[in-house]
Structure 1
């Protein structure tokens, strides 16, 4: 397996301010330095990196600078993370426009994966049609990503309509989209990450490892996740893709990356 790291630890997770009034500009952002993140990720021994759409689009007019950073640090560009509401027909075309713009740039820079999260929770409750709209949107994103040579996967996430195991089951009955399990979000949503990987192994082409303890995301090995058992399941099914560590925020991002790498070396 190849080991990667998400850049969102450097600065934590925010959103682009233009998104408040313009859906087509509603990007995720890690509110730190991508350049510093790549240097630290490489120094910790990872082979590749994933980043948010907003951090990628900062290089839209400077693609050669992005390529230079990858060469400088000897890193591969694994993929990009995007989010959308998915359930509101009036804004869907603007959301899809933003995602395709991101995918086009990501593909030109050598990315392999598109990770999509979302499915908004309405103020007055989720409807069955919301799951149908989310599924249809993910099918469209999957086709669009494939057009550019990327594999699209859905990432269950707290704060969406796919947090709990039953919600994930409901969605997967409506779409064939690949699944990118985020182990800590699955646990925080009431699920068992190991059982989730076993259940959906045939859909998994990309994996996020994240540890969880007392309601907080922590470096690998500092929580209760059964990573060795998860690796056994993945290996038994000949999974040889990317294993990307994600840690939304940490006081010392480089130290967090190093801690997780040391843990992975001990179990791989």
Structure 2
């Protein structure tokens, strides 16, 4: 297994302001420096990084700067995190256009994984066909990613159509996309991350680790997540892909990354 880290801790999770009026520009963005994040991730000892779609798109007019950064830090660009509403047919075409632009740049710059969150919850509540709309949109997004040579995975997330174990079981038969579990989001939604890995292990090509306590996301080892059970479940399926640690925010991002790395090094023999 290989260890990566998400750059979003450097600046926290926000959105691109252009997305308010232009769906094709509705990116996730971390407000911090991507360059500093990647240098810190490398210094702590991770092998690679994932980043938000909006932060990646900041390099579309200076791709060489991105390639130079990879070379200077000896880091692997694991992939990108993106998302969409999926349930509104009138804007789905624009959302898929965004995916295509992001996927093509991800592939051009050497990324492997295309992680997709989303599935909006309407102001009036979830309608009976919303999960089917989400699944259909995910299948189209997966095709776009595969055409670019990327591995597409769906990331269940609090605040989306797939929070609970029951919702995950509802969506998985409706789509062919791979699953990227986020251990803390799974548990915060009422699920058991190790059980999810055991049940859907054949569809897991990528995974996010983060810890959880009192509904707060934390560095690994400082919450209540049972990572022994999660890693054991991964090994049952001979998982040998990336484990990417992801933490939405932390007062000192590099320190948070170090805490998680120290925990993994102490408890697991693959680090």
CA contact (8 A) 2:138 2:175 kept: yes
Question: Residue 236 of structure 1: CA displacement?
Answer: 2.1
Moved more, 229-238 or 47-56: 229-238
Look up the match of 1:67: 67
Look up the match of 2:97: 97
Question: Residue 233 of structure 1: CA displacement?
Answer: 1.4
Matched residue SS, 2:174: coil
Output the CA distance in 1 between the equivalents of 2:140 and 2:166. Answer: 23
Say what the alpha-carbon RMSD is for the aligned residues: 0.7
Look up the match of 2:251: 251
Deviations 1:201-251 (A, max 9, x none): 111000000100111100000011111111111112111100000000000
After TM superposition, the runs of 4+ consecutive aligned structure 1 residues lying more than 3 A away are none
Deviations 1:72-113 (A, max 9, x none): 101000000001000000000000001110000000011000
Matched residue SS, 1:70: helix
1:86 aligns with 2:77: no
Matched residue SS, 1:166: helix
Deviations 1:120-140 (A, max 9, x none): 000111112111111011111
Matched residue SS, 2:220: coil
CA contact (8 A) 2:156 2:168 kept: yes
Give the total of aligned pairs: 268
The residue correspondences of 1:120-131 to structure 2 (distance < 5 A) are 120-131=120-131
Q: Any unmatched runs of 5+ in structure 2? A: none
Deviations 1:146-191 (A, max 9, x none): 1111000000000101001101111012112100000000111111
Output the CA distance in 2 between the equivalents of 1:53 and 1:31. Answer: 13
CA contact (8 A) 2:34 2:55 kept: yes
Matched residue SS, 2:129: helix
| TM-score, normalised by the number of residues in structure 1 | 0.99
Look up the match of 1:193: 193
CA contact (8 A) 2:142 2:152 kept: yes
Output the CA distance in 1 between the equivalents of 2:205 and 2:113. Answer: 9
Look up the match of 2:263: 263
